[in-house]
Amino acid sequence: MKKICVIAMLLVIPTLLISCSNDQPLTEIRVAEVTRSIFYAPQYVALELGYFEEEGLEVELQTIAGGDKVMISLLSNNSDIGLVGAETSIYVASQETDDPVINFAQLTQTDGTFLVSREPDDDFSFTDLIDKEFLGQRKGGMPQMVGEFVLRDHGIDPHDDLELIQNIDFANIASSFLSGVGDYVQLFEPTASQFVEDGVGHIVASFGEASGQVPYTVFMAKESFLETHDQAVLKFTKALYRAQQYVNTADPNEIAEIVQPFFTETDQALLASSIERYQAQDAYATTPLLEEAAWEHLKVIMDQADELPADIDYQDLVNTDFAEEVIKD
d(CA 76, CA 70): 10
Distance CA 294, CA 69 (A): 25
Q: Considering the entire predicted model, what is its pTM?
A: 0.89
Distance, in Å, from the CA atom of 302 to the CA atom of 119, rounded to the nearest integer, reads 31
Q: What is the reported pLDDT for 11?
A: 39
Report the amino acid identity of residue 243.
A
Strand ranges inside the chain, DSSP E? 17-21, 24-33, 57-63, 81-84, 101-108, 113-117, 133-135, 163-165, 184-188, 202-206, 217-222
**For 281-305, what is the mean pLDDT?**
97
R_g (Cα) of the chain, nearest Å:
19
**DSSP-derived secondary structure for 190-230:** THHHHHHHHTS-EEEEEHHHHH-----EEEEEEHHHHHHTH
Question: Over pLDDT 70: what percentage of the chain?
Answer: 93
- DSSP labels for 112-128? -EEEEESS--TT--GGG
Query: Residues 95-106: what's their mean pLDDT?
Result: 94
Q: What is the pLDDT of residues 128-176, one digit of tens each?
A: 999 999 999 888 888 999 999 999 999 999 999 999 998 888 889 999 9
What pLDDT is recorded for position 25?
83
Q: What is the DSSP string of 294-322?
A: HHHHHHHHHHHTT-------HHHHB--HH
Q: Is the predicted pLDDT of residue 280 greater than 50, yes or no?
A: yes
**Residues 116/204, Cβ–Cβ less than 8 Å:** yes
CATH superfamily of 113-211: Periplasmic binding protein-like II (3.40.190.10)
Mean pLDDT, all residues of the chain:
92
Contact predicate 70/19, CB 8 Å: no
**Dist. CA 192–CA 186, nearest whole Å:** 8
Decide if 17-110+214-328 and 113-211 have a common fold.
Answer: yes
Walk across the sheet containing 163-165 and list its strands.
163-165, 133-135, 184-188, 113-117, 202-206
Reduced to 3 states (helix: H, G, I; strand: E, B; else coil), residue 12 is coil
Instruction: Look at residue 189 and tell me whether its pLDDT is greater than 70.
Output: yes
CA distance 142 to 130: 22
Arithmetic mean of pLDDT, 283-288? 98
pLDDT level of residue 97 (50, 70, 90 thresholds): confident
* Domain ranges across the chain: 17-110+214-328, 113-211
Query: In the predicted model, is pLDDT for residue 226 greater than 50?
Result: yes
- Of the pLDDT bands very low, low, confident and very high (cuts 50, 70, 90), residue 177 is very high
CA 96 to mean position of chain CA atoms: 25
CA proximity to 148, closest of 301, 310, 311 = 301
Mean pLDDT on 219-239: 98
Of the pLDDT bands very low, low, confident and very high (cuts 50, 70, 90), residue 5 is: very low
Residue 143, preceding bond cis, omega within 30 degrees?
no
pLDDT score recorded for residue 201 = 96
Q: How far apart are CA 198 and CA 185, in angstroms?
A: 15
What digits encode the pLDDT tens for the residues 21-76? Answer: 455 689 999 999 999 999 999 999 999 999 999 999 999 999 998 889 999 999 99
Query: What is the mean predicted confidence (pLDDT) over 233-249?
Result: 98
Euclidean distance between CA atoms 175 and 185, whole angstroms: 11
**6: pLDDT strictly greater than 50:** no
Average pLDDT over residues 272-298: 97
Q: How far is CA 298 from the centre of its chain?
A: 14
pLDDT for the residue numbered 155: 96
Least confident of 9-13, 48-52, 88-92, 266-270: 9-13
Q: Which CATH superfamily is domain 17-110+214-328 in?
A: Periplasmic binding protein-like II (3.40.190.10)
| pLDDT recorded at residue 23 | 58
